[in-house]
Amino acid sequence: MSKVSEIKSARTGDMYYKIEHDSGLTIYLYPKRDYNSKYAIFGTRYGSINNAFSLDGGEVKKVPDGIAHYLEHKMFECEDGDAFVKYAKTGANANAYTSFNKTCYLFSCTENFDESFEILLDFVQSPYFTEETVAKEQGIIGQEIRMYDDSAEWVVMFNLLKNMYKSHPVQIDIAGTVESIAEITPELLYDCYYTFYNLNNMVLCVSGDLSVEDILKTADKKLKKCEKHTIENYFENEPYEVCSHYVEQSFPISVPLFNFGYKGKSHKVSQKETAEIDIIMTVLTSPSFELYNKLDKAELINQTFDAEYFDGEGYNSVIFSGESRSPKEAGEMIKDYIENLKQNGISPDDFEIAKREVYGDLLSSLNNVEAISNALVDAHFNDTDIFGFIDDVAGCTSDDVNNRLKKMFDTDNTTLSVILPVKE
C-alpha cells in the first residue's frame, strides 16, 4: 500500500502531497486548482559526473564520459516507436536534459494529461538499445558535441571549470567527447540504466489541477516494483587550489565573454546555508545593488551579467558571467568589491531589500507549475523541503548572511576564463 502524506506551509497556506509508492518511487503532487497547464518531471540522481560507481559494494566500474547524456537520448527510442511521436499525438510538449548530477524527462500539457503521463512512465522504464541504434546515435551526438565546441558561451564555461578543477569530472563536458562516446555499447548503457534508473533512485513530480487519485490511477498501473540497491559514486581527490588563474581563447564574436569563478571547499550545503547564499548572490548580481551599478557605470558589463552558486557532490564554487569590453578589469572590480563587502558587511538596508527580493521570487514561483515541479526535484535530491526553504529565507538575519559571506570567497582561489573576438 502506497503511503500518502500531506505537507503544508503555515506561511503560504499551500500544500502538496508526498507519495511513497509501493514500487520504490517517491512521487510529489502539488495541486493547483483551476490551472489549465499541467507539468510532470521524472528524474534520476544520475548525471555526467557519475562516471565511476559501484553497486551494493561490488567492483568499481568506470564508464565513458558522456554516457549519462547518451542514455538520455536513447531512452526516447522505444521498441514500439519513438516517444516524441507518441507525445505529438497527445499534444504534449516533451523534453529531457542531463546536467552534472541528474537526468530528467518532462512534459507539459493542457489536455490529454493521462495519456501523456502513461507515455512518460512507459518509456522511462523501458530501455531498448541495439548495436545498430547505438551506432546511429554516435553520429547524432557527435554532431551535438561539435556544435557545443562552436558555442563561445559553452567553451568559456568549460574552460573555467578545467582551470578550476584538476580531478573532479565536473570539468568534463556533459556530452563527453567524440572519442569517449565511441566507446559506448548497448551493454554499458544497460549497465548504467539498471544501476541509476532504479525507482528508489528516482523521483516523479507533478503539478497542476490534479488529485492523488489521478496520479495513483496511472502510477499503480505503470510503475514496476524495484529492489532497493546501494549506489556508491567515486571521485579522485580534488585539491583545494585552482589549477590556473587565467585562460583565454578566440572566437568569431563581437564582444568578449567572461566567466570569473571562486573555488570553494566542497561540503554538503544545508538548507539554511542555501537561503543565506541566495541573499548574498542577490546583493552581488541584482541591478538593485551597488556592484551591478558600479560595473555598469564603468561600462564593464551589460544585461547579460549574472552569477550562480554552483555546487554538488565534490565541487563548490561561485561563478560570475557575462559580456564585457574588459573582462580582466571586470574580474578585478568584482574581487575588490567582495573583499570590501566581507570586511564591512552587507548594510542592514541592503540585507532587507535582498531578503525581500529572494522571498518574493520564491512566492511567485509557487504560481508556476513548471517552477514548482522543478523545485521539488531539486529539493528531493538535496534532502530539503521547498516550504522549509521559504521559512529559512524568512528567518535569515543580517548576522547570518554576513557570517556566511566571510566564509565563501577566497580571493587567492579564483580563476578567469575569457573568450576574445578573433582579430582581423
Residues tagged active-site: 72
Between the CA of residue 86 and those of 74, 110, 118, 231, 338, what are the distances in Å? 15, 16, 10, 33, 51
Question: Which helix or strand (DSSP H or E) is residue 15 part of?
Answer: strand 15-20
Please say whether the dihedral angle defined by the alpha carbons of residues 404, 408, 409 and 410, taken in this order, is positive or negative.
positive
Largest CA distance in the chain: 69
Q: What is the CA radius of gyration of the chain?
A: 23
Query: 318, 327, 283, 321: which is closest to 303 by C-alpha?
Result: 321
Q: Cβ of 325: how many Cβ atoms within 10 Å?
A: 13
Bridge partners, 251 (sequence order)? 421
Cβ-based neighbour number of residue 164 at 10 Å: 27
Distance CA 148, CA 156 (A): 11
Length, in residues, of the chain: 424
Instruction: Give dist(CA 61, CA 52) in Å, integer.
Output: 5
Distance CA 336, CA 215 (A): 52
At 357, which helix (H) or strand (E)? helix 348-365
CA distance 27 to 49: 25
CA distance 424 to 422: 6
CB distance 7 to 391 below 8 Å: no
